[in-house]
A and B are shown apart, each in its own frame.
Chain A
Amino acid sequence: MIPILSHTDAQTVNFAIWAVVLPFAAFVLNLLLFNKNRIAALVSTVGIVVSLVLAIKVFTSVWNAPVIHAQITWFIIGATKVQAGLLLNNLSVLMLLLVPMIALPVHIYSIAYMKDDEGYSRYFRYLSLFCFSMLGLVVVDNLIMLYAFWELVGFSSYLLIGFWFTRQSAVMANKKAFIMNRIGDIGLLTAIIILFTLFGTFDIQALFGKEGFVQLSNIAAGMWAGPHSAIPAVWQYVAFAGIFLAVAAKSAQFPLHTWLPDAMEGPTSVSALIHAATMVAAGVFLLGRVYPLFIESELTILAIVGCFTAFMAATIALTQNDLKRILAYSTISQLGFMVLAMGIGAYASSLFHLVTHAFFKCLLFLVAGIVIHQMKHIKDDNNLDIDPQNILHMGGLRKKLPLTFIVTIIGALALVGFVFTSGYLSKDGILIQSFVWAEGKSAVFTIVPYFALLTSVLTAFYVARLVVKVFFGEFRLQKVNPHIHIHMGDGNWLYKAPLVFLAICSLFPLFSNSPVFYEDAWIYKSFLPSNFLVRENIYHTIIPILVNLLAVFVMYAAFAFYGKRNAWSFPQTGLLYRISYNEWYIDRFYNRVIVKFVMWFSNLLYWFDKKVVDGLVHLFTRIGKSLATIAAWLDRNIVDGLLHLIAGIVQAIGNFARRFQGGKVQYYLYSMLLVLAFVFIFKMIWT
């Protein structure tokens, strides 16, 4: 390996490699040995446990220490040498730790959650494959491997969304997710190619590291100049657009976000791991990796898109009735916050929010899983025709699921950004920095922080609505059908342990020893550039207080609306309601315009293929066939005929001649006489 690593560094690199490879080993083992076996769950879980232990070791030795960058030569094309290796810096080891830390509770939870499913071992196989791809994605050091793992993550997500592939909706959902992710993949590939064209390397450290090529490059006089060569500046914007597409697809940002709500067709535990905590964070992680690439205006675009996504998703979440869909839109909203944070330069806060969000959103999804599971039991026990995910059927579950209720409150408060939770530390950090960012800019940009603040308030409202509808009031299903048989509970320790673990992780002590000041959080400090702002202005005090007060007020309002069932409620016919309920008509727009156009175009191409291309081929076939028929006729009648004619003549002569050789003496004499007679006749004629 080049450069030569010290002993401890080499050990760390080995640990990191093993942490990545173990889930893959579990995947292979499950595929080959435990194809239809329940041991598969154990294999996958052990794999992720060991992976977690190794990740902790790697984390402790790399965190806030010099970057470890180990690589070997992968292949050489001409003069270009492509290296493959590991890049362990703060960002990658944080993700390396986060992924198994979220994956482990999900694995344990899944053992119980999936135990009655036919595809039990298949499920764990896919889960291991996903963990491998995600871990690989965060540690690799070059863009080619990053791209490969990026695709693998998308693919394993595709497999898991379509896990119940007998359902038509699941198949549609995974197709949609896959196609939308492909759009992002094209963007990423474009960006990689542009970067390679200019800088001649795929190495992330060489490109984006300190004093890397990207930092040394500059845009001047319409040219984007790297250290060795220069290309027109427009390619820089194209590269940004590509990266943005990739991020938007993977992290469900505005134009490409519609796959995520549909992806909730997968098992809930999968949604918890992939579509809430890890995979969707890959886009933000990518932003973190290539952060030096962006110039000022591009960051502003990121901020605006992130803010818009956060706001839009929050408004949609207000009116949805599907438990998982609400959480999905909430995830999109929070991812919007992360992208917004990246855009305003709050790099540290963005990653901090990524980590805290992973814990509390995973927790909320696991809770949703339990609730849906119980509702499904009721549905199956009583032969009811209801949607087990619809929150309108629920209510009053806090008495029946006490532990679930407590952890939900913790998760919900963290999502709202209430003080004492981890969400407070990370999200309020983003809000404060967005106000600071907007201060020096024109009035247009001040919309961004206010919208972020508004989103935060909306978040408080829809979270409160969700909690109240599910856990407070009366059990509406029982109210409608008074005779149903209900038997529900928190479940065994396989359900409880992950919930408790994640709930503890959603509180502030894991991240900071001060519950109030986000600047004290250790993750935040480690990512901070040297010139960070101290608590210098008024926002640092006002914003958190404002957010919390508003949140309390809004949550109380929601409680009053939904819990107490006062005489009045929201109108369900207004324009705003319809926009929100129909998810801003974005999906419908895509279906009506883009999908329709693509289908029309495909049909056109199909027609062209069938009529013109196939027609030509058929024409050639027909010409060939008729030519062949003529040739066959000629062959049979002329060529063969000639031969047959000759053969026939010879045969006839033979037949004629053999009559003279009948073996009868008298015939011989007779023929002799005839010959003699002819001789005499000829002689008489000629003379």
Chain B
Amino acid sequence: MITQQDFMIISVMLFCIGVFIIVSKKNAIQVLIGIELMLNAAILNLVAFGKLDRANNGGQVFALFAIVLAAATTAVALAIILNVYRRYKTIDPDKINQLKD
């Protein structure tokens, strides 16, 4: 029997892996993958708790929204990465340090 708690543990593990990827990887694409993992951890939470709302299926619907939005943001992020590459000839986040004052 898969309980609510197992979903939560999976979700936390996914989130933590995502955070680790974001802060450790030297490639912007991989960072983007990390972000997707974290998003999916959240979505997994929405779906898991959606089981408790049988009448309206609010959790499931909200998860669908989030997946669509995630696709859209990923497109935007890829476009940004392309532009960054054009400007700096690299997509290593360590080399792109012009955000400092």
Q: Spell out A's residues near B (CB within 8 Å).
A: 661-666, 668-670, 673
Cβ–Cβ contact B93 & A663, under 8 A = no
Chain B's closest residue to A660 (CB) is B100
Q: Does B53 contact A (CB under 8 A)?
A: no
Q: Does B2 contact A (CB under 8 A)?
A: no
Which A residues touch B100, using CB under 8 A? 661-663
Cβ–Cβ contact B23 & A664, under 8 A = no
Q: Is the interface of B mostly helix, strand, loop or mixed?
A: loop
A670–B93 CA distance with the chains assembled, in angstroms: 13
Which B residues touch A666, using CB under 8 A? 22-24, 31, 93-94
Q: Does B56 contact A (CB under 8 A)?
A: no
Cβ–Cβ contact B19 & A665, under 8 A = no
Given A663-B98, A664-B99, 20 more pairs with CB closer than 8 A: A661-B100, A661-B101, A662-B100, A663-B97, A663-B99, A664-B93, A664-B94, A664-B97, A665-B93, A665-B99, A666-B22, A666-B24, A666-B31, A666-B93, A666-B94, A668-B99, A669-B22, A669-B23, A670-B23, A673-B23
A456–B94 CA distance with the chains assembled, in angstroms: 127
Contact with A along B57-101 (1 / 0, CB 8 A): 000000000000000000000000000000000000110111111
Given contacts A664-B93, A664-B94, are A673 and B19 in contact (CB under 8 A)?
yes
Q: How far in angstroms is the closest Cβ of chain A from B18?
A: 11
Q: In B1-43, which residues have CB < 8 Å from any A CB?
A: 19, 22-24, 31
Which B residues touch A664, using CB under 8 A? 93-94, 96-97, 99
Which B residues touch A670, using CB under 8 A? 23
A664–B93 CA distance with the chains assembled, in angstroms: 7
Which B residues touch A673, using CB under 8 A? 19, 23
Which B residues touch A661, using CB under 8 A? 100-101
Chain B's closest residue to A668 (CB) is B99
Which A residues touch B23, using CB under 8 A? 666, 669-670, 673
Which A residues touch B22, using CB under 8 A? 666, 669
A662–B97 CA distance with the chains assembled, in angstroms: 7
In the complex, the 5 A-B pairs of residues with the closest C-beta atoms, listed nearest first: A663-B100, A663-B97, A663-B99, A670-B23, A665-B93
Q: How far in angstroms is the closest Cβ of chain B from A564?
A: 126
Q: Spell out B's residues near A (CB within 8 Å).
A: 19, 22-24, 31, 93-94, 96-101
Which B residues touch A662, using CB under 8 A? 97, 100
Which A residues touch B24, using CB under 8 A? 666
Q: How far in angstroms is the closest Cβ of chain B from A672?
A: 10
Which B residues touch A665, using CB under 8 A? 93, 96, 99
A511–B100 CA distance with the chains assembled, in angstroms: 120
The interface centre, meaning the residue of A662, A664, A668, A670 with most chain B CB atoms within 10 A of its CB, is: A664
Q: How far in angstroms is the closest Cβ of chain B from A433?
A: 119
A661–B94 CA distance with the chains assembled, in angstroms: 13
A670–B97 CA distance with the chains assembled, in angstroms: 15
Q: How far in angstroms is the closest Cβ of chain A from B73?
A: 16
A670–B24 CA distance with the chains assembled, in angstroms: 9
A125–B89 CA distance with the chains assembled, in angstroms: 99
Q: How far in angstroms is the closest Cβ of chain B from A659?
A: 11
Q: How far in angstroms is the closest Cβ of chain A from B53?
A: 28
Which B residues touch A663, using CB under 8 A? 97-100
A-B contact pairs, 8 of them (CB 8 A): A661-B100, A662-B100, A663-B99, A663-B100, A666-B23, A666-B24, A666-B31, A666-B93
Which A residues touch B97, using CB under 8 A? 662-664
Q: How far in angstroms is the closest Cβ of chain B from A1?
A: 95
Q: How far in angstroms is the closest Cβ of chain B from A361?
A: 106
A90–B96 CA distance with the chains assembled, in angstroms: 118
Chain B's closest residue to A667 (CB) is B23
Which A residues touch B19, using CB under 8 A? 673
Q: How far in angstroms is the closest Cβ of chain B from A680?
A: 14
Which B residues touch A668, using CB under 8 A? 99
A666–B94 CA distance with the chains assembled, in angstroms: 8
A663–B100 CA distance with the chains assembled, in angstroms: 4
A437–B46 CA distance with the chains assembled, in angstroms: 156
Q: How far in angstroms is the closest Cβ of chain B from A31?
A: 80
Chain A's closest residue to B98 (CB) is A663
Q: How far in angstroms is the closest Cβ of chain B from A676?
A: 10
A666–B97 CA distance with the chains assembled, in angstroms: 10
The interface centre, meaning the residue of B31, B99, B101 with most chain A CB atoms within 10 A of its CB, is: B99
Q: How far in angstroms is the closest Cβ of chain B from A402?
A: 117
A668–B99 CA distance with the chains assembled, in angstroms: 10
Chain A's closest residue to B99 (CB) is A663
The interface centre, meaning the residue of A661, A662, A666, A673 with most chain B CB atoms within 10 A of its CB, is: A666
Chain A's closest residue to B24 (CB) is A666
Which B residues touch A669, using CB under 8 A? 22-23
Q: How far in angstroms is the closest Cβ of chain B from A307?
A: 112
A661–B101 CA distance with the chains assembled, in angstroms: 8
Which A residues touch B98, using CB under 8 A? 663
Which A residues touch B93, using CB under 8 A? 664-666
A670–B96 CA distance with the chains assembled, in angstroms: 16
A45–B29 CA distance with the chains assembled, in angstroms: 118
Chain A's closest residue to B101 (CB) is A661
A661–B23 CA distance with the chains assembled, in angstroms: 16
A669–B19 CA distance with the chains assembled, in angstroms: 9
A666–B100 CA distance with the chains assembled, in angstroms: 12
A78–B5 CA distance with the chains assembled, in angstroms: 121
A668–B100 CA distance with the chains assembled, in angstroms: 11
Q: How far in angstroms is the closest Cβ of chain A from B22?
A: 6
Q: How far in angstroms is the closest Cβ of chain B from A675?
A: 14
Chain B's closest residue to A665 (CB) is B93
A668–B22 CA distance with the chains assembled, in angstroms: 11
Chain B's closest residue to A658 (CB) is B100
A576–B79 CA distance with the chains assembled, in angstroms: 138
A669–B24 CA distance with the chains assembled, in angstroms: 11
Q: How far in angstroms is the closest Cβ of chain B from A663?
A: 3
Q: How far in angstroms is the closest Cβ of chain B from A388?
A: 101
Chain B's closest residue to A670 (CB) is B23
A662–B99 CA distance with the chains assembled, in angstroms: 8
A662–B94 CA distance with the chains assembled, in angstroms: 10
A665–B26 CA distance with the chains assembled, in angstroms: 11
A663–B94 CA distance with the chains assembled, in angstroms: 9
A663–B22 CA distance with the chains assembled, in angstroms: 16
A670–B94 CA distance with the chains assembled, in angstroms: 13
A661–B93 CA distance with the chains assembled, in angstroms: 14
A644–B4 CA distance with the chains assembled, in angstroms: 60
A46–B23 CA distance with the chains assembled, in angstroms: 114
Q: How far in angstroms is the closest Cβ of chain B from A668?
A: 8
A532–B94 CA distance with the chains assembled, in angstroms: 134
A537–B23 CA distance with the chains assembled, in angstroms: 148
Chain A's closest residue to B94 (CB) is A664
Which A residues touch B31, using CB under 8 A? 666
Q: How far in angstroms is the closest Cβ of chain B from A655?
A: 15
A673–B15 CA distance with the chains assembled, in angstroms: 13
Q: How far in angstroms is the closest Cβ of chain A from B25?
A: 8
Which A residues touch B99, using CB under 8 A? 663-665, 668
The interface centre, meaning the residue of B23, B93, B101 with most chain A CB atoms within 10 A of its CB, is: B23
